[in-house]
Structure 1
Amino acid sequence: MRRGCHRWPVWWLVWKLKLLMLLLLIPMATAVSLPSSGQLRRIWLQDHCNAGICANVEIGRNDYVILSQSPIAKQVMLTFVNSSIAKIPHLMFDTFPDLQLLRMENCSLETFEKPQFEGASNLMSLFLGHNRLKDIPKNIFLGADNLNTLHLEDNQLRTLHNHSFSALKELKELSLADNQLEQLPLGVFAGMRKLLDLNLAGNRLTGFPRGIFDRNLNLTRVNLARNRFTVFESELFKLQPRMALLDLSGNILHELTLNFSLLELIVAQGCDLRRLTVYGVVHELDLRNNSLREMPHIPQAVNVTTLDLSQNPLGNLQGNPFRRFTSLLRLNLSTTNIHELAEGLFKKQTQLKMLDISGNTIYSLKITLFDSLKQLQYFYFQQNNWNCDFLQLLMSSFVKRRDISFMEDVTAPELVDDYVDGIACWYESDKFSKKCDGDGGGSSLSNAAIELSVVRNEIKAFTEVVEKKFVKVYRMLEEMKLKL
C-alpha cells in the first residue's frame, strides 16, 4: 500500500528555516562580533510557563535566544512575571504563531531590534509598560498590522518620530503615560485613523503642533493630565464630532476656554483655574480643587448633568447661579467656603439626585430650600456647623421623611455638643441664642460657631497636609521598590 505524504504547516517550515539559518550563522557571529559572554542561549519556555504565565525568565541585551525546540501552536496569551527581559527575542512570534496578547510589563525591557514584529499578524494587544524603553524606532511595528491596543506607559521615552507607529492602522488604544515626552512631531499619529483612546498623562508637554489630530477623526478619549500646559487650544479637536473625555488635570491653567460640538466629560482637577468658559454641548464637569470664585460660564448649561465644584473658594453663591442648569442630576459643593444657601437656590433642579454640601460652615437653612428636590436620593451634609435644633428638623421633615441616603460625621466627640443620627451639631449659648422655627430659622453664624469653625478648619487643614506628605512618601517608596 502507498503511504500518505504528511504536509507540514507553512509557518512551521518557515520557523525551521529561520532556526537553521540562525544556527549556521551564530558560530561566525560569535567569533567575529560577540563578546565572550554573548553565547547562543536556548530557553525552553515550557520549563517557565504554565497556562500562559511565564515566570523567572532572564534574557540579556546581548543574548541570542531560541525559545523552544518547536513552534507552540494555539497559545493566544502570554504574560511574563518576575522576569528580567532586556529585549523581545527575534523568534518570539515564530515560536508563538497564534499569539494575540503579550504582556511584558515590569521586565526591564530596554530596546527593540528590527525586524521585531515580523510574523506578529495575529497580535491584538501588546502591554510593555513599566520598562526602560527610551526610543520607539521608525517602522518598528511593521508586521503587527492588526494590533488593537498598545501600552507603553511608565518607560523612559523622550522623543518620538513621525514613523514610530507606522503600520498600526488598526490601533484603537494607545497609552504613552508617565514618560518624559516634551514635544511630539506633527505626523506621529497620522496613520492611526481608527484611534479612539489616547493617554499622554504624566509627560512634559507644553503644547501640540497645529493639526496633529486632524486625521484621528474617531478620537473620543484624550488624557493630558499632569503635563506642563499653561494654555490649551480646543481647536486641536475641531474635526472630532464627539469627544467622550478630555482630562486636563494637574496642568496650570488659570483661564480656560473650551469649544466642542459635543463633549461628554471634562476633568480639570487641581489646575488653579480662576475662570472657565465652555461653548458647545457638555454633559459632565469635574472641576475639583481649583481656585474658582465664580461659576463657570456655560451658555448651554441646560445640557449639564453633573457639576463638581468641590474644593473651590466659591463662598456664598449670590443670586441664582444654577438657574440655567435645569438638567442637573449630581451637584457637588463640598468644601467651597459656604456659610449659607439662599432660599430658592435649587428651585430649577427638579431632577437632582445627588447633592453634596459637606465640609462647609453652614449653621442653619430655610427648610423650604429643599421643596423642589423631589428626586433627591443622596444628600451629604456632614462636617458643617449645624445647630442641633435645626438638624433635628432637617432630619425629620426632609431626610428621613423621603428616605434619603446620607453619610455620618467623623468629627471627634470632644469637639461636639451632640450628634443627630450620626451628624455632629452644637447648641447655642444664652448669649448667642438663635431661634430655629419650622421655616428653618436664621441662617447667619453665631460668633461662637465662627470661632469653632476656624479651629475645625485649622485641624482639617493640618490633617490634609499630613495625609498628602504620607501619600508622597508612600509613592516614593513604591518607585524605589520598582527600581530595585
Structure 2
Amino acid sequence: MWQSRRLLLSLLATCALIVCHSSGSSSGGSVGPTAGQLRRIWLQDHCSAGICTDVHIARSDYVIFSQAPIAKQLALTFLNSSIAKIPHLMFDTFPDLQQLRMENCSLESFEKPQFEGASNLMQLHLGFNRLKDIPKNIFLGADNLATLQLQNNQLKGLHNHSFHALKELKELSLAGNQLEQLPLSVFAGLRKLLDLNLAGNRLQAMPRGIFDRNLNLTRLNLADNRFVAFESELLKLQPHLQLLDISGNIMPELTLNFSMLEQAVAHGCDLRRVTIHGFVRDLDVHNNSLTDIPLITHASNVTGLDLSQNPLGNLQGNPFRRFTALLRLNLSTINAPEFAEGLFKKQAQLQMLDISGNGIYSMKITIFDSLKALQYFYFQLNNWNCDFLQLLMSSFVKRRDISFMEDVTAPELVDDYVDGIACWYDSNKVSKKCDGGGTGSSDAALELSIVRNEIKAFTELVEKKFIKVYRMLDEMKLKL
C-alpha cells in the first residue's frame, strides 16, 4: 500500500510539472495555479527545524508537498500562513508526523479522507481558525491522537460521530466556539478522555448521561456559558474528577453531589446559596452574592476555601468550626469590619489567611492564637489603627516570621505606615506606641475611635463633593 502511495505521489508530481510547464511557469518554489491546475509546494523552501512560514493554500488548490515522503519529521508548526484546508496528502508526505500545529491559519474546513495515513499523529492543534463544522468520521486514520485543540473557531454544532475513532484521545478543547447544544453520544467513544474544555460557548443545558462513558474524566471546564442551573447528576459516574469550573454562569443556587472532587470553581455566578454533598477538597466561590458560607456536608475534608468578594459581613459565632483541615482561607473584601474572637479557633493547620480589604480598625490580638502553622497573612487595605497595627506586627507577624504584602495606598491619604501597612491614629496627634502587654485601649476607646474615623471619612467625602461642585460651577462660568 505504501508503494502505491509513493507511486501516486510521483504521478501527481509529474502531472503538476507537465501542467505548470504548459502554462509557462518556472519550476522552482511555489507555482501559482490557474483554473484546473495542480499546485506543488516544496516545503523545504518554507520550513526549517519544523517551523514553516509563509505557506499559503487556497480553498481550490490541490497541493503536492513533495515528490517523495519526508521521513523523521516529527513536528510541524505553521506560522504566518493562510491554509484554507489541510491538503489530502499531508500525512503521506510526512508519515512520521506526531505533532501538527496550524493555529491562526484561517483554516475553514475538513475534507475526507483528511487523516488517512495519520496513525502516528498524537497532537493536533487547530485553534484560532474558521472551522464551522466537524464532519462525521472525519478523524478516521488518526487512531493514536491524544490531544485535539479546536478552541476559538466558529463551531455551532457537533455530530454524534464527530470524534469517532479517537479512542486514545485524552485532551479535547472546544472552548471559545458558538456551541448551543451537544448531542447525547458526542463524547461516548472517548473512553480515555481526561480533560474536556467547553468554556466560552453558548450552552444552556446538557443531556443527562452525556458523560456516562467518560469514566476517566478528571477536568471539566464549563465556564462562561449560559447555564442557569447545574445538574450534578451529569458527573455521578466520575470517581476521579479533579476540577469542575462553572464560573461565569449566572445562577441563584448551586448544589454539587460528588463522591470525590478535588476542586470546584464557581466565581462570578451571582450565587446566593451553595450546598455541597460528598467530598470536596478546594472550593472557590469568590465574587458572588453569598450572605452565608456554603453548606458542605463533609466540611472537615476541605483544605482550600475562597469566599472573597462576597457580602458576608461580620461572621457571627464560629462558622468555620467544622473546617478543621483548612490550609488556605480567603476572606478578602467580604464587608466584615470586625471578626469575632474565636473565629479561627479550629484552624490549627491554616497556612494562608487573607482578610484584606475589609476596613478593619482593630480586633482582639488573641484571635490569632490558634494559627500556629500560618505562613502567609494578607491584611493590607484595611482601616488599621496604628497602635494596634504595631502590636499585631510585633507580637504575631514578625515574631512568627509570617510573610505579608505591603499597602499601595498613597502617603497623602494615610496618617502613617507600619512596615508598609497603612494606618490611622485616633486623633490628629501621634499617640504613644503600644507595648505587648495588651490591646492598648479599652472597648469604649475603640468604639470612640471608630466613630471618629467614620466622621473623618464622611467629612473627606463631603469635601470632595464640594470641590467637584465648585469645579463644575467654574466650568459653567467660563462657558458663559
Same fold, TM-score > 0.5, yes or no: yes
* Preserved CA contact (<8 Å) 1:118 1:142: yes
CA distance in 2: counterparts of 1:58 and 1:363, whole angstroms:
65
Equivalence for 2:238: 240
Equivalence for 1:15: 6
* Preserved CA contact (<8 Å) 2:390 2:434: no
CA deviation profile, 1:332-372 (whole Å, cap 9, x unmatched): 00111011110011000000000000011100010000000
Change in CA separation of 1:41 and 1:448 when aligned onto 2, cut-off 3 Å: farther
TM-score normalised by length of structure 2:
0.88
CA deviation profile, 1:111-134 (whole Å, cap 9, x unmatched): 000000000000000000000000
RMSD of equivalent CA atoms = 2.4
Equivalence for 1:200: 198
1:135 aligns with 2:139: no
CA deviation profile, 1:364-411 (whole Å, cap 9, x unmatched): 010000000010000000000000000000000000000000000001
Q: Secondary structure at the match of 1:446?
A: helix
Give 1:215-230 correspondences, 5 Å limit: 215-230=213-228
CA distance in 1: counterparts of 2:318 and 2:183, whole angstroms:
47
Q: Which is further off, 273-282 or 446-455? A: 446-455
Match of 1:315 among 313, 316, 321: 313
Change in CA separation of 1:19 and 1:227 when aligned onto 2, cut-off 3 Å: farther
CA distance in 1: counterparts of 2:199 and 2:459, whole angstroms:
38
What's the offset of the Cα at 1:14? 2.1
1:420 aligns with 2:421: no
Give 1:42-441 correspondences, 5 Å limit: 42-429=40-427, 438-440=437-439, 441=441
Change in CA separation of 1:50 and 1:43 when aligned onto 2, cut-off 3 Å: same
AA at the equivalent of 1:216:
N
AA at the equivalent of 1:59:
I
CA distance in 2: counterparts of 1:64 and 1:451, whole angstroms:
78
Change in CA separation of 1:26 and 1:294 when aligned onto 2, cut-off 3 Å: farther
What's the offset of the Cα at 1:69? 2.4
CA deviation profile, 1:242-298 (whole Å, cap 9, x unmatched): 210000000001101000000000010100010000000000011111111101000
What's the offset of the Cα at 1:419? 0.3
CA distance in 1: counterparts of 2:184 and 2:124, whole angstroms:
24
* Preserved CA contact (<8 Å) 2:13 2:67: no
AA at the equivalent of 1:63:
D
CA distance in 1: counterparts of 2:458 and 2:141, whole angstroms:
65
* Preserved CA contact (<8 Å) 2:361 2:384: yes
1:450 aligns with 2:454: yes
* Preserved CA contact (<8 Å) 1:15 1:95: no
- Taking every aligned residue pair, what percent have the same amino acid on both sides? 75
AA at the equivalent of 1:242:
H
AA at the equivalent of 2:342:
G
CA distance in 2: counterparts of 1:457 and 1:347, whole angstroms:
38
* Preserved CA contact (<8 Å) 2:387 2:432: no
* Preserved CA contact (<8 Å) 1:120 1:144: yes
* Preserved CA contact (<8 Å) 1:12 1:71: no
Q: Which is further off, 168-177 or 436-445? A: 436-445
CA distance in 2: counterparts of 1:208 and 1:46, whole angstroms:
47
What's the offset of the Cα at 1:241? 1.0
Q: Secondary structure at the match of 1:278?
A: strand
Change in CA separation of 1:12 and 1:391 when aligned onto 2, cut-off 3 Å: farther
What's the offset of the Cα at 1:435? 11
CA deviation profile, 1:80-103 (whole Å, cap 9, x unmatched): 011101000001000000000000
CA distance in 1: counterparts of 2:460 and 2:100, whole angstroms:
52
CA distance in 2: counterparts of 1:294 and 1:185, whole angstroms:
37
Instruction: Flag the structure with larger Rg.
Output: 2
Q: Secondary structure at the match of 2:233?
A: helix
CA deviation profile, 1:181-230 (whole Å, cap 9, x unmatched): 00000010000011010000000000011111111111110000000000
What's the offset of the Cα at 1:67? 0.8
* Preserved CA contact (<8 Å) 1:43 1:65: yes
Q: Secondary structure at the match of 2:295?
A: coil
Aligned length: 442
Change in CA separation of 1:22 and 1:164 when aligned onto 2, cut-off 3 Å: farther
What's the offset of the Cα at 1:449? 2.4
What's the offset of the Cα at 1:68? 1.4
Q: Which is further off, 200-209 or 448-457? A: 448-457
Q: Secondary structure at the match of 1:375?
A: coil
CA distance in 2: counterparts of 1:319 and 1:160, whole angstroms:
51
CA distance in 1: counterparts of 2:427 and 2:399, whole angstroms:
30
Equivalence for 2:467: none
* Preserved CA contact (<8 Å) 2:9 2:67: no
CA distance in 1: counterparts of 2:72 and 2:187, whole angstroms:
33
CA distance in 1: counterparts of 2:351 and 2:128, whole angstroms:
41
What's the offset of the Cα at 1:450? 2.8
* Preserved CA contact (<8 Å) 1:285 1:307: yes
CA distance in 1: counterparts of 2:250 and 2:12, whole angstroms:
56
Name structure 1 gaps, 5 residues minimum.
1-9, 29-34, 459-484
CA distance in 2: counterparts of 1:250 and 1:163, whole angstroms:
29
Name structure 2 gaps, 5 residues minimum.
20-32, 463-480
Q: Secondary structure at the match of 2:296?
A: coil
Change in CA separation of 1:390 and 1:219 when aligned onto 2, cut-off 3 Å: same
Q: Secondary structure at the match of 1:408?
A: coil
Change in CA separation of 1:62 and 1:335 when aligned onto 2, cut-off 3 Å: same
